[in-house]
Amino acid sequence: MSSVRGVAIVGTGSAVPERVLTNDDLAKMVDTNDEWIRTRTGICERRIADANTATSDLCVLAAKRAIADAGISPGELDLIIVATVTPDMMFPATACLVQDRIGATKAGAFDLSAGCSGFLYGLATGSQFIAAGLYEKVLVIGAETLSKITDWEDRSTCVLFGDGAGAVVLQSAPAGAGVLSVHLGAAGSGGDLLTLPAGGSRRPTTAETVAKREHYIHMSGNEVFKFAVKVMGEASLKALEKCNKTKEDIDFLIPHQANIRIIEAAVKRLNLSPDKVYINLDRYGNTSAASVPVALDEAVKAGKVKKGDVVLLVAFGAGLTWGASVIEWSKG
- The domain locations on the chain are 6-176, 180-328
244 is catalytic: no
**pTM over cut 0.85:** yes
CA dist list (Å): 87 to 37, 145, 214, 227:
28, 8, 17, 26
The span from the CA of 25 to the CA of 37, in Å, is: 12
The span from the CA of 270 to the CA of 265, in Å, is: 9
Which of the residues 23, 259, 280, 286 is marked catalytic?
286
280 is catalytic: no
The span from the CA of 43 to the CA of 99, in Å, is: 33
Q: What is the pLDDT of residue 177?
A: 86
Which of the residues 59, 96, 256, 280 is marked catalytic?
256
* Among candidate residues 254, 258, 285, 288, the one with its CA nearest the CA of residue 272: 254
Q: Per-residue confidence of the chain (332 residues) as pLDDT tens digits?
A: 444 699 999 999 999 999 999 999 999 999 999 999 999 999 999 999 999 999 999 999 999 999 999 999 999 999 999 999 999 999 999 999 999 999 999 999 999 999 999 999 999 999 999 999 999 999 999 999 999 999 999 999 999 999 999 999 999 999 888 999 999 999 999 999 999 999 999 999 999 999 999 999 999 999 999 999 999 999 999 999 999 999 999 999 999 999 999 999 999 999 999 999 999 999 999 999 999 999 999 999 999 999 999 999 999 999 999 999 999 999 97
Asked if residue 160 has a cis previous peptide bond (ω within 30° of 0), the answer is no
CATH for 6-176, options being 3.40.50.1370, 3.40.47.10, 3.65.10.10, 3.40.50.300 = 3.40.47.10
Handedness of CA 49, 50, 54, 59 (dihedral sign): negative
Q: Would you list the DSSP string of 138-207?
A: EEEEEEEEGGGG--TT-HHHHTTB-EEEEEEEEEEE-TTSEEEEEEEEE-GGGGGGEE--SSSSSS---H
Asked if domains 6-176 and 180-328 share a fold, the reply is yes
Which of the residues 116, 158, 183, 259 is marked catalytic?
116
**CATH class of the domain at 180-328:** alpha beta
96 is catalytic: no
Q: What is the pLDDT of residue 332?
A: 77
